[in-house]
Each structure stands twice: as C-alpha cells, then as structure tokens.
C-alpha cells in the first residue's frame, strides 16, 4: 500500500503537535537538490495527471458499460470496449512514466546528497568526529539519505497520485450523485479518525522498531570486527545470546507495530466498506424508483472506493514525511557544519623550498572533547631546520598531541605554532600538511596493494620512486616475500601484516613525498631488535637533511637525536643531550633504566 510522501501529506495528520513549520522548512533542502532536474519534475507531474485522469476514467467506463452497453445492444458495447482499452493504455503508459521519472529523481537526488555530504564531511576537522560520533555521521550518509530517497522517490509519487485521485474522486462523486456524496462526506471524518488515533502510535512503534534493528546491527558489527577478542576470551556463547536477545527484542517491537497497523487497517476497512454498503443500500432504492441509473450507482461506488483508498494512502504517507523531514534536518545540520580548521581568506604562501623549522610558543591546549584536562601547558620549543629532536616521556605525557598540533588538526587555546616563521593559522592547512610526513603511532594500512599503500602520500609516484621509498624504509625485505610482491593486497586494516611491517610501510609512505618535516610517532616501537637495527640504519638516511621530530622510547633511537626533550604531564621537564640528561638524574634517567630493564627481559626471553 501507500508509503512515503510529499509535502501534501502535511495537512492530514492533525495529531502532529511539534513545530510543523520548522519541519517543512527542512524539506526545502530536498527541493533545492531536486531543482536542477526541473524538466524531469514537470514530465513526472504530467505523467501523474495522466494516470489520475485515466484512473478516474474507469468509473465513467463502468457507468457507460452498465447504462449503454448492457441496454444499447452490441454496437454500443464495441465503442465502450474501445474506450476501455484506451483508458487502460493511458493508465499504463502514464504509470510507467510516473514510476520511472519519479524513481529516477529520487535516486539522483540521493546520489547528489550523498556526494555533497561526503564532500563536506571529509573537510571537517578530527575534533568534529570526536564531538559527534563517526557512526552517527555514517548513519546520516547511509540511513538518512535512504529515508529521503523513499520520500523523493516513491513517496512523492504516491502522495501526488492519491491527492489527485482524492480531489478528482470528490468532484466525480458530486457530479455522479450529489445526494449520495453527502453521505460519503459524513463518513470521511469517520475514516480519518482511526487514522489519527492509531497513526501516531504506529509511527512511534515504527521508530522503536528501527532503533531496535540498528541495535542488532551494531552488536553484529562490533563483535565481527573484534572477532579475535571475542574468540580469545571464549565469549561466543555470550555474544550469541546477546545477539539473540537483541533480535528478539526487535521482533517484539515489530510485532507491536504490526498489531497497531493491523488494527488501523481493520478500522479503516470497516468504516470504508460499511459506508460503501450504506451507499449501495440507499443508491439501490434510488435506482428502483428511477432517481438514478444503475450505471451512475456503479460509477459512484467505484469513485467512493477510490476516494477512501486515497485518503488511507495519504495518511500513511504522512508518517514517512515526518521521518524524512527529521532526516533532512539532520543532513542540513551536517551540510552546514563549518570546519573549525580551515584556510584563512588570504593564506600566506609557504616557500617552495621550505627550511622546515618549527616553533611552539607558549602553547596551551586541551582536546575539545575533554576540555577539563590541559594536555600541553606553556609549551615552547624551537626545532631548527635539519635538526633531529626526540620527544620522550611517559605514556599520556602529550607527545602525540604535539604532532596533532603541528599538523593543525586542532588549534591551541593560547600561544602559537609557526612553520618557517609563519604562524600556521595563517597558511592553508593543506599546504602545511603537504610539507609534513607522518608515521603515526598506529600505522594505517588501506585495503589495497603495496603500491597504493605506499603511494598514498604521492599518487603520481613512479614505480621506481615507490621501490626506493620501500628500500630506504627497510620494507623491501618483507614485501619481496609477499605472495604477489608489490601487487599483494594488504587486507582490511592491514590484517595480513605484523605491527613492524605496517610501520615500515607507513615510513615508506611518509618519506615518499619527501617532506621537509618528518614526524615519527614511536616508529620503531613494534619492531623486534633485529628489525629495529635494520630500520635504525634506514631512519638515519631518512632523517638526514630534514627536520625530524621523533617520539621514541628506545634508547638506541633516542641517542641518535641531536637533542632530547623530556615531557611529563604536558610540561617540558628537561631538555638536552643524552649525556646531560643522564647526569641530571631526573625522569629521563628513570625512563632509560626502565628501558634497559625491558631490553634485558626481551633478551632473556629470546634465549
Ligand atoms: N583525541 C583526544 N581527545 C581527548 N583526549 C585525548 C585525545 N588524544 C589524547 N588525549 C589525552 O591527552 C593526553 C595526552 O595524550 P597523548 O598526546 O596521546 O600522549 P602520549 O603520546 O604522550 O602518550 C592523554 O591524557 C590522553 O588521554
Ligand atoms: Mg602517543
């Protein structure tokens, strides 16, 4: 039966107490997106009108068939049959056109919407995704747009068609028999009444059902993604029963919804057909006494059924209209989100051959999602061009945060950061970032082959360049052993690689585009001693001639730095060479002792 909708449904549900004007306003977004296809819209409306006229013609044909066909002999009958075929032809062609054009429009609008949302979302800063969950953003791209698709597509067409049938049907009822249509007019409110009473409940239950289903999905999503954890703790049975509970819960919600919808249908059918029977009763006696023809009565009943059906369809479509309005409200919100990190109006240009110096000046910073914790306090450092600086400190000290700020994923609360003596808020962040190569703490591997994974930093790199980058990162050794070498697909999230291998791919990616600044976040942390010494050598080559800041906890790595900065709880606690810091005997000494102890343990365990 009827689903989905257009703005026309809005006048029907009187039970809607929430700000209606606001909701309808949000549907304007859809109109904006449909506007470029106005030619299609006009054709679709023509098809709709054609189909409605054809459908209304059925009543006329029936009337003629009864009055003239049966009584006027075979000659009249032929003409009426030809007319009937004509009506069928009009209805079928117009219906095909209506269906194709309207569905086309729905698909097109949703495709454009999805692209617009994605174009927007990919520019938003990481803090946006911390304050608004990524899954929520994803559901706007998939679920909300699908909801809208049903409105712009099928729903709009159903609503328009039924609206035309309603208006046309009412006119034809009055033309056919004014007296009987008065009777119909009385029964219409009786049909609308249960629609209002049950309609609201049906919609509420349908929302609940949706929520329960999405719960089922998220349980499956989480457990299948983390299948190793589930199986290693032998929690399959627990997860199965959790899943089944969720499934049963969504079933019970769906059952309630079906029941409510069933009662709604019952009430509407009882009243609608009850009044049809009354019409037949009164109409039949009118035919007996000659007040109307049998054909008029037949046509009248057909129109009455059409009108009732169109009211039912329109009311059902209204619930979908509301949901689509909610969906388009959420989408407009997303589309109007302003990235808080963006290029200034007149960005300063970074030199084509940048020196790659970095300065933090009295920087204070908290993450937007956790404002109460100060992550960096009065943080000032100056890293000269070509220098290699090691950042050390316990976990949670704020080391990775320093990198996030250099990349300008966040802005400091006070103080400033400069690149080659340009305050980074005054340059285009994209230009800034293209001068930086990062190896993150948790390297990211895409579901693609080695070529694509390394050249992500420089898509137009030649094969030779990619191989050179892999060589310098000591990655060729294992790449050559992969089943298809560089053509091997590395699997979703790099599941086919070890931690150290992922890191070497990430290093190759970072050096490929030859950045003036290299940021290495614990780039050697996942390597065993042997691989570490391999990569140590290659890092020395990589680090040469460019500014490097590395977060490290291996003494062997740290000692290679020109300068060491010791961070604790967002504060610089000391700074200098390895020898100087050891002599001071502070946090650095403690960290280095821990390190040696760990190294010993590792050596012992490898015997
Ligand atoms: N995206 C984030 N949102 C909120 N807090 C964060 C975020 N990232 C890190 N933090 C917090 O900031 C502090 C410093 O983190 P981080 O710079 O990652 O430390 P380190 O790299 O030195 O181990 C920690 O207390 C951590 O919990
Ligand atoms: Mg870190």
Same domain, yes or no: 145 and 228: no
Question: Is residue 156 a contact partner of residue 6, using CB atoms and an 8 Å limit?
Answer: yes
The set of long-range contacts for 385-388, using a CB threshold of 8 Å and a minimum separation of 24, is 385/355, 385/356, 385/357, 385/516, 385/547, 386/356, 386/545, 386/546, 386/547, 387/547, 387/548, 387/562, 387/563, 388/543, 388/547, 388/548, 388/549, 388/550, 388/560, 388/561, 388/562, 388/563
CA 440 to centroid of ligand 2, rounded, Å:
9
pLDDT tens, residue by residue, 294-339: 888 989 888 988 888 888 788 778 777 777 888 888 888 889 888 8
pLDDT at 247: 94
What predicted TM-score, i.e. pTM, was given to this entire model?
0.75
pLDDT at 119: 93
Residue 294's Cα: distance from chain center in Å?
58
Lowest mean pLDDT among 141-155, 156-170, 448-462: 141-155
Tell me the mean pLDDT in the region 384-409. Answer: 93
| Residue of 127, 134, 370 to mutate, ligand 1, most atoms within 8 A of C-beta | 370
Residue 367 scores a pLDDT above 60 = yes
Residue nearest to atom 1 of ligand 1 (CA): 367
Q: Is the pLDDT of residue 406 over 90?
A: yes
Kindly state the average pLDDT of the residues 270-298: 87
Residue whose CA lies nearest to ligand 1 atom number 24: 396
If asked whether residues 376 and 470 sit together in one domain, one would say no
Per cent of the chain over pLDDT 90 is 34
Task: State which ligand 1 atom lies nearest to the alpha carbon of 404.
Answer: 17
Among candidate residues 487, 514, 541, the one where a domain is terminated = 514
Whether 448 contacts 387, CB under 8 Å: no
Is 570 near ligand 1, meaning CB less than 6 Å away?
A: no
Residues 22 and 111 in one domain: yes
Q: Residue 23 — very low, low, confident or very high, per pLDDT cuts 50/70/90?
A: low
CATH number, domain at 374?
3.40.50.300
Residue 90 in this model has a pLDDT that exceeds 70: yes
Residue 539's pLDDT is 77
Which-ligand-closest: CA of 366? Answer: 1
CA of 224 to the centre of ligand 2 (A): 27
Q: How far apart are CA 347 and CA 361, in angstroms?
A: 21
- Chain mean pLDDT for the chain: 84
| pLDDT of 352 | 87
**What was the pLDDT predicted at 190?**
79
| Cα(394)–Cα(557) distance, integer angstroms | 16
Which residues contact residue 277 at a Cβ distance below 8 angstroms, ignoring those fewer than 6 apart?
Answer: none
Same domain, 75 and 217: no
Task: Tell whether ligand 1 has an atom less than 6 A from the beta carbon of residue 370.
Answer: yes
pLDDT band at residue 19 using 50, 70 and 90 as cut-offs: very low
Q: Helix, strand, coil: what percent of the chain each, to 5?
A: 65, 10, 25
CATH number (domain holding residue 146): 1.20.1560.10
* Whether residue 442 has its Cβ less than 6 Å from ligand 1: no
DSSP per-residue letters across 299-367: HHHHHHHHHHHHHHHHHHHHHHHHHHHHHHHHHHHHHTPPPSS---SSPBPPPSS----EEEEEEEE-B
- Looking at ligand 1, which residue's alpha carbon is closest to its atom 6? 367
Based on the fold, state whether residues 425 and 525 are members of the same structural domain.
yes
Q: Ligand 1 within 6 A of 369 CB? A: yes
- pLDDT confidence tier of residue 530, bands split at 50, 70 and 90: low
Looking at the domain assignment, is residue 301 inside a domain?
no
Determine the pLDDT at residue 67: 82
- Check whether 15 has a pLDDT greater than 50: no
> Closest ligand 1 atom, CA of 126?
1
Per the domain annotation, does 190 fall within a domain?
yes
CA distances, 185 to each of 179, 190, 253 (Å) = 10, 9, 36
The pLDDT of 86-100, averaged and rounded, is 91
Phi-psi region of 367 (alpha: psi -120 to 50; beta: other; left: phi over 0): beta
Distances, alpha carbon 167 to alpha carbons 76, 87, 174, 311, 413, in Å: 30, 19, 11, 10, 62
pLDDT at 563: 93
Q: Write down the pLDDT at residue 411.
A: 94
Same domain, 399 and 379: yes
Q: What are the angstrom distances between the C-alpha of 533 and each of 251, 390, 469, 474, 524?
A: 58, 17, 18, 10, 9
Distance (Å, whole) CA 82 – CA 73? 15
Q: What is the pLDDT averaged over residues 587-596?
A: 76
pLDDT number for residue 69 = 67
**Residue 311, in any domain of the structure:** no
> Going by CA atoms, what residue is nearest to atom 16 of ligand 1?
398
Nearest to 482 by CA among 494, 473, 472, 493: 494
Domain co-membership, 105 together with 123: yes
Distance from residue 397's CA to the centre of ligand 1 (Å): 8
Cβ–ligand 1 distance for 547 under 6 Å, the answer no
Mean pLDDT along residues 76-103: 89
State yes or no: pLDDT of 341 exceeds 70. Answer: yes
Domain identity same for 160 and 187: no
Instruction: Flag the least confident range among 22-31, 75-84, 364-373, 428-437.
Output: 22-31
In angstroms, what is the span from residue 514 Cα to ligand 2's centroid?
24
Number of domains in the chain: 4
> 401 in ligand 1 pocket by Cβ < 6 Å?
yes
Range of the domain at 41: 1-176+317-340
Q: Are 388 and 543 in contact (CB under 8 A)?
A: yes
Query: 244-250 contacts: CB < 8 A, separation 24 or more?
Result: 246/212, 246/215, 246/216, 246/219, 247/216, 249/212, 249/215, 250/209, 250/212, 250/213, 250/215, 250/216
User: pLDDT tens digit string along 94-148?
Assistant: 999 988 998 898 889 989 999 999 999 999 988 888 887 777 788 788 888 888 8
- Decide if pLDDT at 507 tops 70: yes
CB 202 within 8 A of CB 264: yes
Stretch among 60-64, 227-231, 233-237 having the lowest mean pLDDT = 60-64
Task: Give the pLDDT score at 17.
Answer: 34
Residue 71's pLDDT band, with cuts at 50, 70 and 90, is low
Looking at the fold, whether 365 and 403 belong to one and the same domain comes out as yes
195 to each of 13, 83, 155, 547, how far by Cα in Å? 8, 37, 18, 71
Lowest mean pLDDT among 324-338, 341-355, 385-399, 464-478: 324-338
Instruction: Give the residue carrying structure tokens 């390394």.
Output: 454
When pLDDT is averaged across residues 31-36 and rounded to a whole number, the result is 91
In a domain, 310, yes or no: no
Give yes or no: residues 528 and 410 share one domain: yes
Percent of the chain residues topping a pLDDT of 70: 91
For the beta carbon of residue 555, count every other beta carbon within 10 angstroms: 16
Distances (CA, A) of 249 to 221, 255, 574: 18, 10, 58
- With beta carbons less than 8 A apart as the criterion, state whether 250 and 216 touch: yes
Dihedral pair phi/psi, residue 386, rounded to 5°: 85, -5
For range 15-25, the mean pLDDT: 44
* 124 CA distance to ligand 2 middle (Å): 23
Whether 545 and 418 share a structural domain: yes
Tell me what the mean pLDDT of segment 185-205 comes to. Answer: 79
Query: Which of the listed ranges 57-61, 70-74, 408-412 does the model predict with the highest average pLDDT?
Result: 408-412
| 220 in the same domain as 71 | no
CB of 4 closer than 8 Å to CB of 150: yes
Q: Is residue 193 part of a domain?
A: yes
Given 473, 494, 514, the domain boundary residue is 514
pLDDT at 24: 59
Tell whether ligand 1 has an atom less than 6 A from the beta carbon of residue 371: no
Quick check: CB of 440 below 6 Å from ligand 1? no
Counted residue by residue, the chain has a size of 607
Structure confidence at residue 527 as a pLDDT band (50, 70, 90):
low
């Amino acid at each position: 039966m009827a689903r989905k909708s257009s703005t026309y449904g809005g006048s029907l549900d009187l039970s809607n107490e929430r700000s209606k004007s606001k909701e309808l306003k949000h549907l304007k977004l859809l109109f904006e997106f449909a506007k470029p296809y106005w030619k299609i819209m006009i054709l679709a409306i023509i098809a709709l009108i054609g189909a409605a006229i054809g459908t209304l013609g059925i009543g006329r044909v029936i009337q003629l068939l009864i009055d003239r066909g049966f009584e006027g002999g075979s000659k009249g009958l032929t003409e009426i049959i030809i007319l009937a075929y004509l009506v069928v032809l009009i209805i079928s062609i117009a219906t095909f056109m209506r269906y194709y054009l309207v569905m086309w429009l729905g698909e097109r609008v949703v495709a454009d919407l999805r692209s617009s949302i994605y174009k927007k979302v990919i520019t938003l800063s990481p803090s946006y995704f911390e304050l608004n969950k990524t899954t929520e953003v994803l559901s706007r791209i998939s679920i909300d747009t699908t909801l809208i698709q049903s409105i712009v597509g099928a729903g709009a067409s159903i609503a328009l068609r039924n609206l035309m049938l309603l208006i046309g049907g009412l006119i034809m009822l009055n033309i056919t028999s004014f007296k009987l249509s008065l009777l119909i007019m009385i029964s219409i409110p009786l049909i609308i009444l249960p629609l209002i009473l049950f309609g609201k409940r049906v919609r509420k239950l349908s929302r609940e059902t949706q929520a329960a289903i999405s719960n089922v999905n998220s349980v499956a999503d989480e457990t299948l993604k983390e299948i190793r954890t589930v199986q290693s703790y032998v929690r399959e049975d627990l997860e199965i029963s959790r899943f089944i509970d969720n499934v049963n819960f969504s079933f019970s919600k769906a059952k309630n919804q079906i029941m409510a919808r069933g009662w709604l249908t019952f009430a509407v059918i009882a009243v609608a057909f009850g009044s049809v029977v009354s019409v037949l009763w009164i109409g039949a006696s009118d035919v007996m006494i000659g007040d109307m023809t049998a054909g008029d009565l037949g046509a009248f009943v057909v129109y009455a059924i059409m009108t009732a059906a169109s009211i039912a369809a329109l009311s059902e479509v209204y619930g979908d209209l509301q949901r689509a309005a909610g969906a388009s409200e959420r989408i407009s919100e997303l589309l109007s989100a302003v990235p808080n990190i963006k290029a200034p109006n007149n960005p300063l240009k970074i030199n084509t051959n940048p020196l790659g110096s970095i300065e933090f000046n009295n920087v204070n910073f908290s993450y937007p999602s956790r404002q109460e914790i100060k992550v960096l306090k009065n943080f000032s450092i100056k890293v000269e061009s070509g220098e290699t600086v090691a950042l050390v400190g316990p976990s949670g000290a704020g080391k990775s945060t320093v990198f996030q700020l250099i990349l300008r994923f966040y802005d400091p609360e006070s103080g400033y950061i400069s690149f080659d003596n340009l305050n980074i808020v005054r340059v285009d962040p994209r230009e800034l970032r293209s001068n930086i190569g990062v190896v993150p703490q948790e390297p990211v591997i895409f579901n693609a082959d080695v070529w694509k994974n390394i050249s992500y930093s420089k898509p137009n790199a030649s094969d030779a360049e990619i191989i050179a980058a892999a060589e310098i990162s000591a990655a060729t050794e294992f790449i050559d052993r992969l089943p298809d070498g560089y053509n091997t697909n590395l699997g979703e999230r790099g599941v086919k690689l070890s931690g150290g291998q992922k890191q070497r791919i990430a290093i190759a990616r970072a050096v490929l585009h030859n950045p003036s600044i290299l940021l290495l976040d614990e780039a050697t942390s996942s390597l065993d001693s042997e691989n570490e010494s391999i990569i140590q050598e290659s890092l020395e080559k990589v680090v040469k001639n460019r500014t490097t800041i590395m977060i490290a906890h291996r003494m062997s790595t740290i000692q290679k730095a020109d300068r060491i900065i010791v961070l604790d709880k967002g504060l610089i606690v000391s700074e200098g060479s390895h020898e100087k810091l050891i002599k001071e005997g502070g946090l650095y000494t403690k960290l280095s002792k821990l390190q040696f102890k760990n190294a010993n343990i590792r050596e012992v365990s490898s015997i």
